[in-house]
Structure 1
């Protein structure tokens, strides 16, 4: 209750529920909540805890950042991700950067080496996983058609082909140009094989496809005919992989120096470019073989 003659002054000066404008952000608030508002007002000036300079609250993070104006804020070395643990103010950081060039270079080289090692381990694990999956697919298919089996002699070989663009260039100039894999053994009782790939295709698929085959190494003594099942798989090198698989099952004549079975229409160049089959200028071919198929 206020006397009538004092009402105007009360409403303007002493009423706790009167509306006032924040002098910093110009927002209208109730007077009794003004201090609460100041405690969170983005335009309210606060003292920097490092240099005591008055800074608008919303600009404080920028003030103490690496590119800010605070001379005393602690900063991480720009090589912290490489392993440098130094923290200091702006002046100390300048001296640190000048004096520790050699150690920073050493940290970067170590980081690069660790990254390469990590990538190599990851690639090896992926290759092993793909080999296991390929074997399980063959085993499952066999069990579905033939029934239970204690052990199947299945070989999986993964071929990493590098410098793909240069291989294509050479293949365009020479229709007989081919890439050979290193020889691999099909198993304890098996044979030595190697893969051959024609980047620009072979025969009537020349220019439109990639052709790939397996050959028997010279020197192996083989039976004239062998019933086998095999597949060539082009690995999609992305997480949402859609691999290209060409699978065959047939009785073929195995002779040293003779191709396993023609796969001249393995994949078109258009399909090859449709997904991430080419990565870092390389492709990955997986060959899976089951010999002595009943």
Structure 2
């Protein structure tokens, strides 16, 4: 700046008369003000210092009282000063410009020796004539190309860019002999290509702790084969202990299953709707003479059974009785159950009387004799089943006498109660 309202801080080419100088700062007047009482002059900026220096300000030259009311601008002196010749403020740095004080500011805006801020924002102050060189070579905000990926970035961001650049060359941690590797290829190199990566012994899962480079592995396998055999032996022994423990657990679970089944009876209820239609079909057509219920199991892991129902009777009950049987079916748990089947079985035809106390259910019960080993109670081996039950559970006359048929529906209930060991 050529001035700051406290006098011009420039070098004039001619001697300047004292009347053009400020009585406070001694510099050539900048925007001069004149005291009406005594005629002395001061810069507009210096007047503030005079007025606030004392409670009763006076002229520094003759002591005349001064107030803001008796001060006026001296435009004539100001215009005269602007015609004085000066040299550039940067003349010591080499600028040869001279001219009127009035033109100094205009010159400074293009003076090649003037110190200005870097336009890239790096916060350095540079002579205007050196700006282009600074931007191209020294500016921390200059644009440069990454030598690896050829992307543009600022010079001061280059290291941060390299930390993420996928083409940046990195070293293999296994050996310097691998040379430099682009970051984008690093993972593949470590996983597949590196000849120096350490690998585990093929018998690591069996307990060998050796870890070495690929070309050393053959030596290890040849040298430590006896150790590997010992590891195998220990592993086999350990597996045998695990199998033994698992067998003990299975045995405990089987015992638990046996205890549960022995303590509880299990029931299954099945109903037939449109019974009159089913009965008539059974009388007229042999193919429709039998009805099979959905399978059910004795508990969660027990025997699997199904009801076999002949509405028009079967065997000695043909045409006169309702015949109801049970058949044993193949189950995924058959191998842990006791055979022959020897649970107590009760088949019950439900009286649907609305008054529960007046009901007279018809029941049939049996306990298989496991010593006889009848086919119906043996472990099923194929899909051809034999069945057991009652050929004369209820006569047709009985069915009509009470409420065994209600809303053309009958209900059958099966209760299975273990009588002894049913597990292996």
TM range, normalised to the smaller chain? 0.3 to 0.5
**Bigger relative CO (Cα 8 Å, ≥ 6 apart):** 1
Larger radius of gyration: 2
Query: TM-score, normalising length from structure 2?
Result: 0.33
Query: TM-score, normalising length from structure 1?
Result: 0.44
